Structures are given as C-alpha cells and as structure tokens.
C-alpha cells in the first residue's frame, strides 16, 4: 500500500503533503494516478521523522515476565519510535554474537519498530574481561554501541581497552557512570532529602568522577564515548568542558530527569526509585539547559519495565527503573517546548536526527528517498496517562494519572502504519484507518 498524508506540518513548518511509495518517502509518485494510494487527512497534525531511542530495556531473553521484544516494540510504536536500541543486561547477557542476533531477529519478527541490540562491554557485565566486541559488530545484528548499563565499567584499564577496540570500526562505548565504591547500598540522591528520610545516598560526585575519567580516556584514545542518563549539574559542566576540547563525547538525558526531583522520594512510592536517582531542582534546570545548548545531545528513555511485585513492595526492596517509551515525547514537550526552550525542530534533533547519527543509522529525516519512518503528532492534544491502555508489560510509570501535552496519533515504520489514529495495527493483516 502507498500513502498520501495531506495537510500535515513537517516539524512545525508550513503545511504540505508527504507521499509514501513502496516504503520510501518520495517527492512525487512514480506514476500519475497510482493505484493503491490511501489518503490520510492530517489536518492539525505535525509530522516528525520516526523517533530513535538509544536506551531501551526489552528484557528478552530471560525476563519475559517484565517485557518481551514484542511488547516493548508495541510500546515503542505507541510512543512514536521507529528504532530502539535494546540494552545488554538480559539473561543471558547480550555479550555474544548469538544473543545479539537472537534479539535482532525477535525485533524483525515483531515488526513494529527496528530493534538494534546493544552489546555488553564485558563478559557477564562483570567489568573484568572484554566481551566479543568484534564478533558482535560483524554479526547479522551489526552492533555499533556497547554498554554494561546497569553497571559501570569501573576499571580504567578495561575501559581504555574497550575504547581502543571499538575505534577500529567507529563503535561507541556507552557508559553507565556510577563509581561503585561511592554508591554501595545507595537508595536515592545524597542530599537534604536523603538526610531527612534516613536513606543511604548516591552522591552526585559518583557520576561526575566517572565521566571526568572517561572523557580523559576517550580523548587520550581518540575514540567515541557516550554518557548514559546524565543527571547532575556537575556532569553537564564536565561534558561541556570535554566537548570544548574536541573530545568525541556525546550524552543523553532521560525524560524523568528533565521533570522529576528527589522531593518525590518523600512519598516512599517505589515508582520513583531509579538509577541514577532523581536529583535536585538545580540539577533538573542544569540538564534542561544542557539539552537546550547542545551539551547534552539527545533524549533517551531508559525504558525499564519491571513486574508488579518488583515495585509493589517497600522502598528498600524495590527494583530501580521506570517505563518511558509511551510518555517520552510528551515529557519533552512539557519540559522543553512549553517553557520556550525548544521548537519542534529541536525535538526532531534530540529524539530523532542526532540519535540516528550517533548510532550510524540512515534515519532521522523526512527527505525524499529516505525510509518512510514517520510519526504524526497532535501538538494541541492533552491526555491523561492511563496505565491500563499502555502496550508495555511494565506498569511502573511515574506519570500515571498525569495530564501531559501532545499525543502520538500515528506511526509509520518502513512505510507501514504500525499505529493509526492511536490504535496499534495488527501486523500482517490489512489495517483500516480509524479516522
């Protein structure tokens, strides 16, 4: 099927048309009067290139009770993502070519979004022995990003060797910056709130010390470093310093670190327990400013679903993490667009174009000739987050019941509508537009 999307505003620009023929965006259909063209009336909607997430936990293989590649892919489609990068902390760990190919093939079978596995840096995420980085890069999955996320590559020599190894194929080491000796037993951000609640604290310096070390190592080696989920004002300063000196460093911030502070922990609701922890109001403002001025390159969800029992317990026993694929765009609009820090072109930059560049994907554009990965957004809509309506298996969202701006109307992946008028398509069957 081919599609004509009429009266749409690309990235908030002048209204026009988008044409999709055989899965590709075209300036004009190849034949006047082309048959099998479905018209999509998009008055009031904004078109963005499909969103790209560099930090998604899909849990499969091994933790299918928390999420599967299929359920996570459906959640991605609902959030407007046409490419996600699946983190390596599965069971077994994605530290071999066999496991990353398994995840990649599961993504292809699901069909709702492109699934690009992230390979582990070290065997079993143990921080000791480098994993099969070259074999994973050469596999059918074509891995280019490697991370022990959930754990920090804390040994500086192992980190140096990893940076040296991936340089040969322009790979990226994505670091979870957490000095383990400074965060043993930590339950939340170390500060006034942790002192008042009597909870062990996770100090900002534990993140900043690792980032400072790693940007120096990346500069020394001349390799690419990506800093996961930046959460402190000091981290933003260090990355800004490193970029000014030509270090090949990129960085991400999560939606929840753009909005929420450690004051939420006073509720003792485990839904607010996350790693790195929610920080102070000053940190939230610093990461927003860092995202606005380009110091922080992208927004990544750190989508981390958990089964109910892992969160419905006392704070100290609860797992860390939040879901995020289905609310990310709205949070960026609430924290960056509505306060006037961003236009829609900036949203495209941090959620589509720049993530695709970091990952080396031919995505993040609406130019003719590119794959038709398109998300249609209703910028005027306001919606109340309904956990029961979510596609993710995980229900651990801190935004449940919150009214948020903007809504994903439709998502086209490789020219097919995988979400149409808010309804997920039944992949493999003819889909009727609901509008």
Point out the residues that are catalytic: 302
- Would you put residue 132 in left (φ > 0), alpha (ψ -120 to 50) or beta? beta
> Are the CB atoms for 425 and 419 separated by under 8 Å?
yes
229 is in an annotated binding site: yes
**Residue ranges in 143-280 assigned as alpha helix (H):** 156-167, 192-197, 204-221, 233-244, 255-259
Buried b / exposed e across 372-386, counting CB within 10 Å, b at 16+?
Answer: bbbbbbbbebebebe
Residue 149 labelled as part of a binding site: yes
Question: What are the backbone dihedrals phi and psi of residue 388, each rounded to the nearest 5 degrees, phi first?
Answer: -65, -25
165 with 132: CB under 8 angstroms? no
Buried b (16+ CB within 10 A) or exposed e, 205-226: ebbbbbbbbbbebbbebebbbb
Q: Is 192 annotated as a binding residue?
A: no
Backbone angles phi, psi at 261, to 5 degrees: -120, 175
Contact assessment for residue 190 and residue 251, using Cβ atoms and an 8 Å cutoff: no
- 410, β-bridge pairs: 376
CA-nearest of 14, 31, 18, 52 to 368 is 18
Q: Per the annotation, does 55 bind a ligand? A: yes
Which H or E element spans position 70?
A: helix 69-79
Is 396 annotated in a binding site? The answer is no
Label the pairing between strands 16-21 and 2-10.
antiparallel
Among candidates 424, 412, 289, 391, which has minimal Cα distance to 38? 412
Task: Find out whether 302 is annotated in a ligand binding site.
Answer: yes
* Residue 366 among known ligand-binding residues: no
Q: Would you say 176 is a known binding-site residue?
A: yes
Q: How far lies 287's CA from each of 147, 204, 294, 418, in Å?
A: 22, 13, 10, 33
Structure tokens at 346: 């900036």
Which of the 8 DSSP states describes residue 278? Answer: P
Tokens of 314: 């006392």
* 57 assigned ligand-binding residue: yes
- Taking every pair of Cα atoms in the chain, the longest distance, rounded to a whole number of angstroms, is 71
Helices (H), 132-197: 133-138, 156-167, 192-197
**Residues annotated in a binding site for Zn(2+):** 55, 57, 149, 176, 229, 302
**Residues annotated in a binding site:** 55, 57-59, 89, 149, 176, 229, 275, 302, 306
**Residues annotated in a binding site for substrate:** 57-59, 89, 275, 306
């Amino acid at each position: 099927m081919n599609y004509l999307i009429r009266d749409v505003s690309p990235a908030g620009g002048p209204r026009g048309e988008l044409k999709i023929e055989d899965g590709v965006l075209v300036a004009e259909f190849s034949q006047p009067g082309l048959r099998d063209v479905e018209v999509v009336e998009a008055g009031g909607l904004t078109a963005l290139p499909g969103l790209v997430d560099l930090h998604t936990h899909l849990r499969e293989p091994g933790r299918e009770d928390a999420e599967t590649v299929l359920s996570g892919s459906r959640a991605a489609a609902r959030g407007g993502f046409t490419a996600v990068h699946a983190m390596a902390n599965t069971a077994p760990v994605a530290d071999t070519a066999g496991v990353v190919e398994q995840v990649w093939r599961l993504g292809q079978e699901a069909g709702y979004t492109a699934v690009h596995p992230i390979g582990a840096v070290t065997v079993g995420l143990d921080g000791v022995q480098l994993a099969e980085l070259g074999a994973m890069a050469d596999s059918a999955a074509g891995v280019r990003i490697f991370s022990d996320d959930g754990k920090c590559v804390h040994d500086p020599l192992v980190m140096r060797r990893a940076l040296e190894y991936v340089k040969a194929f322009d790979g990226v080491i994505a670091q979870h910056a957490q000095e383990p000796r400074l965060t043993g037993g930590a339950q939340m951000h170390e500060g006034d709130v942790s002192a008042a609640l009597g909870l062990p604290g996770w100090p900002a310096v534990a993140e900043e010390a690792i980032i400072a070390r790693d940007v120096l190592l990346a500069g020394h080696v001349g390799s690419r470093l990506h800093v996961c989920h930046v959460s402190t004002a000091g981290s933003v300063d260090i990355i800004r310093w490193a970029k000014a000196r030509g270090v090949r460093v990129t960085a991400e911030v999560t939606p929840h670190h753009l909005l929420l502070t450690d004051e939420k922990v006073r509720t003792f609701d485990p839904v607010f327990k996350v790693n790195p922890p929610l920080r102070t109001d000053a940190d939230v403002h610093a990461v927003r400013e860092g995202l606005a001025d380009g110091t922080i390159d992208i927004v990544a969800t750190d989508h981390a679903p958990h089964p109910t029992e892992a969160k419905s317990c006392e704070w100290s026993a609860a797992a860390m993490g939040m879901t995020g694929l289905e609310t990310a765009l709205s949070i960026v609009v609430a924290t960056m667009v509505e306060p006037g820090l961003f236009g829609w072109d900036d949203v495209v930059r941090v959620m589509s174009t720049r993530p695709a560049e970091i990952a080396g994907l031919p995505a993040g554009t609406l130019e003719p000739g590119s794959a038709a990965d398109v998300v249609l957004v209703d910028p005027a809509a306001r919606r109340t987050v309904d956990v029961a309506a979510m596609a993710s298996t995980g229900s651990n969202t801190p935004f449940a019941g919150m009214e948020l701006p903007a809504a994903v109307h439709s998502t086209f992946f490789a020219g097919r509508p995988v979400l149409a008028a808010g309804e997920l398509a039944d992949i493999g069957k003819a889909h009727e537009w609901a509008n």
